[in-house]
Structure 1
Amino acid sequence: MLSFRRAIQLGIVLRLGLIIYGEYHDRHSALKYTDIDYRVFSDATRLVWSPKVSTGEIVASGWLSRRLNLGLGDPYERDTYRYTPLLALLLIPNEVVHPLWGKLLFSICDIVVGHLLYKIFCQFPPLQYPQHADDKTDEAAASAKRSQFQAQVESSAVLWVSAIWLLNPMVANISTRGSAESVLGLLVVSSLALLLSGREEFAAVMYGLAVHFKIYPIVYAISVLKWLRIRDPRGGLWGTGWMSWRQIRFGIISAGTFLALGLAMHAVWGYPFLEHTYLYHIARRDHRHNFSLYFYPTYLSYPASDSTTPMPSPSGLSRLLSSPLLSFLPQMGLTELAGYLLASKIEDLPFAWFVQTVIFVNFNKVCTSQYFMWYMWFLPIVLPRLKMTKTSAFYTLAIWIAAQAIWLSLAYRLEFLGEQVYLPLWMAGAVFLVANNFVLVKLVQAYVRQ
C-alpha cells in the first residue's frame, strides 16, 4: 500500500524528472517546454536585479527607492509582466544561483500544497466513524476501532491527494513548465488549512498575502466571514446579531496585511505597481481566443490597429457585451451568493471556496485552462464528500470532457490551421460554459444531499 511519505517522494521525482526533460526538450525542439510566462518572470527578475542605469534602463520609481537609492530596477519594463514585484523578488536566485530556481520553487510549492491537503483531509475526513454500543463498555475494542478508522482515513487521503495532486502529470507539468500558480495555491490552501485548524490570526495574514499576490481570492471573504460567525454563535456587536469580534479581527489583520504589502510595493515601484498588478486586470480587454463567453464580443469591438488580424467594425451590441461591467456583475453576484449560502457548517468551507472559484473562472472575461488550477487544489478534499452513483459521475465527467474537446478542436483549427472559425469557437465556448455550470450544479446537489 502506498504511504504518504512514498507519495511525496514519487511526486518529487516526477517533478525533477520533468524539469530535467524540459531542459533537454528546450535545447532540441523549436516548440519549447518552458512556458512563455516563465520567461516573462525571469526577464522581470533580471530587470529588478540588474537595472543597468548606464544603458538607460529605468529603475524603480517609488519615493522610497529614490530616497534610499535602493538600486532596484523596474520589472514592469518587461512587456506583459502583470504581477506583484514580490514574484520577481522570489525569483532572484534565478540570477544568482541558477535559471531553474523558479521551476524548483514552484515544484516545492506543489509538494507543500499536497501535504496541506493531506492534513485537511485527515482533520475533516469524509468517512463517518462507525458507532457501536460496545464502544462505551470495552475501551480496548473502541481503541482498536478508532485506530482502524484512522488508518482507513489516512489510506483514503493518500489515494485522493496522490491521484489528483501529487502524482497528477497535468499538475506537475504546469509547475515544471514555469507557471507560478502553485505559489498562489500554497497561499490559498495555507489560509484554508490555518482557518480549519483554528489559527485564525495566521490565516488572516496568509489570506491577505494571497489577495496581494493575485486579487481574485478576495471573493472568499464573504464565506470566511459567514464561517467565522458560525464558529462564534454568541450575540454580535451592538446587538446586531451578525457581526462578531472574530470577524472584525480577521478583517483587520487580512486587510492590514494586504495594505501593508501594497504600500511597501508602491513605495519602491510607484504607480506602475498599481497599474500593472491591479488596475490593468479591472479594465483588461483580451481579444485572443479563450474559453470565456466574452472573447468574441471583445474581438469584434477591438480596434483593428491593435491586432494583426483584420477585424470587422464593432457594433454597439459588441461594445456592450465586451464591457467590463457586464462581465463583472453576474460573475461577482453568483460568486458571493454561493459563498454565503454554502458556508453553513464548519467543514463546508473548502466546498464553498471550490464552488466560488469555479463560478469565478466560468464567468471570468478571460478563461484559459491554466485557470482551472485555481479550483483543482480543492478537489482532493471535495470529491470524496460527493454522493454520486458511478453512472452519474461518468456522464458528468463525459459532458465536461466532450465540451472541452469540442472547443479545443476549433481552437486548433484557428491557431494552427489559420481557419477563420471565430464564431464557431465562440459558440463552442458558450456550450462549454453551459456544460461547466451543469457539472457544477450536479456537484452541488451531490454534496448537499450527503
Structure 2
Amino acid sequence: MSQPPPRENSDPPWRILSSLSNPAYSPWIGLFFRLFLAWILPFLLDDGRLIPGLSYTDIDFLVFTDAAKYIQQGQSPYDRHTYRYTPFLAGLLAKFPHREVGRYLFCVADALCGWIILSLRQSQAKKDGNNIENWKVGLGDALWWLYNPLAINICTRGSSESLMVLLPVLATFWVATLNERTESTKQTTADSNASAATVKQVFWTGICHGIAVHSKLYPIIYSLSYMAYFATPPRTRSKTIIYKTNRFPWNHPVKLFRLAMLWIQRLLSPLPMLFLLTFAVTFVVLTWLAVRLYGNEALHEGLLYHFGRIDHRHNYSMYWYWIYLARARASSVSSAMATLTLSRIGKILLLPQAFLLAYSSLGMGPNPNQLGLTLFVQTYLFVSHNKVITAQYFTWYLCLLPLCSRQIQLQSREVLVAVALLGLSIVAWLGSAYLLEMQGMSVHRIVWACSVAYFFANVNVLTVVLQSRIPKDKVKESTMQKKKS
C-alpha cells in the first residue's frame, strides 16, 4: 500500500504566540504563570536568600496573614497594627491552614479578572458584528492584564489589589450584559422580557458594587456613572442627553439649571433608584456586620480612615511634599491641633477629585459605547489627583483599559509619545526616590519635582487619549476591516 503523502504544516511558526491570545487558553496560561511565580519568587528572594536585603513578599501580605492569625485565635484583626481593611478579608484568609494559600487565592482572582476582561471584549466583538466562532482577542488586549508584568508582580507578591479590582470589573460585566440583552431584545417583546432581565442585572450590579465599595472604598467613584447609565432609556442611549465638553452651557445659567433638573429627574427614575438601593443596602449590611463583630474599630480603621488619610512619606502624588511640610509645622503645636490641621488638608484635597468625577460621570456615563472609557477616565483622574499614589493604584485603571481599547487609537504616534513621557517621569521619580530612601540623600525637592512632572505627564496622557477617540461608525468600520484581513 502506498503511504499517504505527508501532511503539510500550514500553521505559522508563531502559533504559540497566537495561542497566548486565544480566549480558551490565555486565562489558564496566565493563571499558570502567576501560580508558578507566586511559588518560586518568594522562595528565591524572601529572607535575603538570593539577594541580601531584598524581600519579594509585599509587606501588606504579612499584615493580612497576621490579622488572619488573630482571628484564628479569637481576637480582632485590628489588633494587628496598620491593618486598615475590611475584616472579612482577614476572615477569608483565616479559613486556610497555610498563609501562602492566600497568595495563590490572589493569583486566581487576578486570572479570573483577566478572563472577565476577555469575555467583555468578546461581547463587544459580537456587538460589532464579528464572527464569534473565529474571533480571537488581540495579543495586545491580553497583554494589558493577563500578561501584564505589573499585574503579575502585584498579585504574586501577595497584594490584595487583584481581589479588589475583580469586583469593579465584575460589576462592569453585569452592566455590559445588561446592555447586550437590552439591545438584542426585539421591540415587540421588550416590555415584558427585557424589563425582567434589566431589573435582574441592575440588582446584581448593585450587590457587586456594594461589596466592592465595602472591600475597597475607591469603587464608590463609579456610582454616579452607573446611575447615569441606568437613567438613560435604551432608545436614547445612542444619543447624548448632555452637552459635549466644549459646548457645556457654563455661561448660560438657565440652560445649566434645566440640564440639572433633567438629570435630577432621570436619576430619580426606577432603575437608578433600584441600583442605589441595592448598593446602599449591601454596603450598609456588610459594614454593620463588621461593626457588630469587631466594634467601631472596624468602621474607623476599615472605612473612615481612608477619607482623611494623608501620607507624608514620599509617593507618586505631587501633594506629598506639601503634606510633609505641613506635618513638620504641625508637630510644633499640640497633637490635637496637628491632627485637626492634617485632617482638614486631607478633606480639601478631595474637592478637585469630586468635581472631576461628577463631571465625567454625567458627561460620559449615559453612552453605553463609552461606559468602559468613562470608568477608565474616572479612575485615571482619581489616581492621578489622589493625595497618596502607589504602584498598586496603577492596576485600578489598567484593568479597565482593555474595555475601551477599541475606542482609542492606542497605537497612534501621539499616544505612544505621551506614554513614553509618562514612563520617563516614573523612571526619574524612582531614581530620585532611591537616592532619598536607600542612600539617605536630602533630595526631597527633587523627588517632589519628579512627582509634579509625573502629574503633568498623566494629564498629558489623558488628554491625548481623549483626543484619539474613534467615532462609533469608524469603530465598526475598522472592526470589519480587521475581520476581512
* Alignment TM class, shorter chain as reference: 0.7 to 0.9
What is the aligned partner in structure 2 of residue 214 from structure 1? 216
Whether 1:118 and 2:118 are equivalent positions in the alignment is yes
Q: Within 2, Cα distance between the matches of 1:418 and 1:293?
A: 21
Q: For 2:408, give the aligned amino acid.
A: L
Q: Within 1, Cα distance between the matches of 2:456 and 2:127?
A: 32
Whether 1:109 and 2:109 are equivalent positions in the alignment is yes
Aligned length: 395
What is the aligned partner in structure 1 of residue 316 from structure 2? 291
- Give matches, 1:187-206, under 5 Å: 187-198=167-178, 199-206=201-208
Q: Within 2, Cα distance between the matches of 1:221 and 1:399?
A: 32
Q: CA deviation at 1:158?
A: 4.9
Q: CA deviation at 1:448?
A: 5.9
1:176 paired residue among 148, 156, 163: 156
Alignment TM-score, normalising by the size of structure 2: 0.77
Secondary structure of 1:365's aligned partner: coil
Secondary structure of 1:288's aligned partner: coil
Q: For 1:167, give the aligned amino acid.
A: Y
Q: Within 1, Cα distance between the matches of 2:126 and 2:424?
A: 29
Q: Within 2, Cα distance between the matches of 1:342 and 1:126?
A: 23
Secondary structure of 2:309's aligned partner: coil
What is the aligned partner in structure 1 of residue 231 from structure 2? 229
Q: For 1:184, give the aligned amino acid.
A: M
Alignment TM-score, normalising by the size of structure 1: 0.82
Secondary structure of 1:447's aligned partner: coil
What is the aligned partner in structure 2 of residue 54 from structure 1? none
Q: Within 1, Cα distance between the matches of 2:413 and 2:469?
A: 16
2:462 paired residue among 409, 417, 440: 440
Q: CA deviation at 1:410?
A: 0.8
Q: For 1:348, give the aligned amino acid.
A: Q
What is the aligned partner in structure 1 of residue 438 from structure 2? 416
Is the 1:410–1:421 Cα contact (8 Å) retained in structure 2? yes
What is the aligned partner in structure 1 of residue 65 from structure 2? 42
Q: For 1:164, give the aligned amino acid.
A: W
Q: Within 2, Cα distance between the matches of 1:419 and 1:241?
A: 56
Q: CA deviation at 1:388?
A: 5.4
Whether 1:32 and 2:46 are equivalent positions in the alignment is no
Secondary structure of 2:25's aligned partner: helix
Q: 1:336 to 1:75 in 2, by over 3 A?
A: same
Whether 1:260 and 2:285 are equivalent positions in the alignment is yes
Q: CA deviation at 1:276?
A: 0.4
Q: Within 2, Cα distance between the matches of 1:163 and 1:242?
A: 37
Q: CA deviation at 1:390?
A: 3.2
What is the aligned partner in structure 1 of residue 34 from structure 2? 15
Is the 2:230–2:366 Cα contact (8 Å) retained in structure 1? no
Q: For 1:194, give the aligned amino acid.
A: W
What is the aligned partner in structure 2 of residue 76 from structure 1? 78
Q: For 1:201, give the aligned amino acid.
A: F
- Give matches, 1:27-426, under 5 Å: 27=47, 28-29=49-50, 30-50=53-73, 72-94=74-96, 96=97, 98-125=98-125, 128-129=128-129, 147=131, 150-151=132-133, 154-155=135-136, 157-198=137-178, 199-232=201-234, 240-303=265-328, 323-387=345-409, 390-426=412-448
Q: CA deviation at 1:326?
A: 2.3
Is the 2:349–2:387 Cα contact (8 Å) retained in structure 1? yes
Deviates more, 1:337-346 or 1:432-441: 337-346
Q: Percent identity?
A: 31
Q: For 2:149, give the aligned amino acid.
A: P
Q: CA deviation at 1:33?
A: 0.8
Q: 1:393 to 1:232 in 2, by over 3 A?
A: closer
Is the 1:110–1:175 Cα contact (8 Å) retained in structure 2? yes
Is the 1:343–1:349 Cα contact (8 Å) retained in structure 2? yes
Q: CA deviation at 1:102?
A: 0.7
Q: For 2:268, give the aligned amino acid.
A: M
Is the 2:68–2:90 Cα contact (8 Å) retained in structure 1? yes
What is the aligned partner in structure 2 of residue 64 from structure 1? none
Q: CA deviation at 1:231?
A: 3.7
Is the 1:116–1:190 Cα contact (8 Å) retained in structure 2? yes
Q: 1:163 to 1:361 in 2, by over 3 A?
A: same
Is the 2:225–2:365 Cα contact (8 Å) retained in structure 1? yes
Q: For 1:302, give the aligned amino acid.
A: R
Q: 1:266 to 1:434 in 2, by over 3 A?
A: same
Structure 1: give runs of 5+ residues left out of the alignment. Answer: 51-71, 130-145, 311-315
Q: Within 2, Cα distance between the matches of 1:14 and 1:269?
A: 37
Q: Within 2, Cα distance between the matches of 1:232 and 1:223?
A: 16
Q: 1:247 to 1:76 in 2, by over 3 A?
A: same
Q: Within 2, Cα distance between the matches of 1:325 and 1:185?
A: 25
Q: 1:128 to 1:323 in 2, by over 3 A?
A: same
Q: CA deviation at 1:343?
A: 1.4
Q: CA deviation at 1:242?
A: 4.8
Is the 1:297–1:321 Cα contact (8 Å) retained in structure 2? no
Secondary structure of 2:144's aligned partner: helix
Q: Within 2, Cα distance between the matches of 1:397 and 1:13?
A: 29
1:132-186 CA distance string (max 9 Å, x none): xxxxxxxxxxxxxx53xx356x31x252442111122221111010000011111
What is the aligned partner in structure 2 of residue 313 from structure 1? none
Q: Within 1, Cα distance between the matches of 2:415 and 2:309?
A: 36
Is the 2:232–2:266 Cα contact (8 Å) retained in structure 1? no
What is the aligned partner in structure 2 of residue 139 from structure 1? none
- Aligned Cα RMSD in Å? 2.5
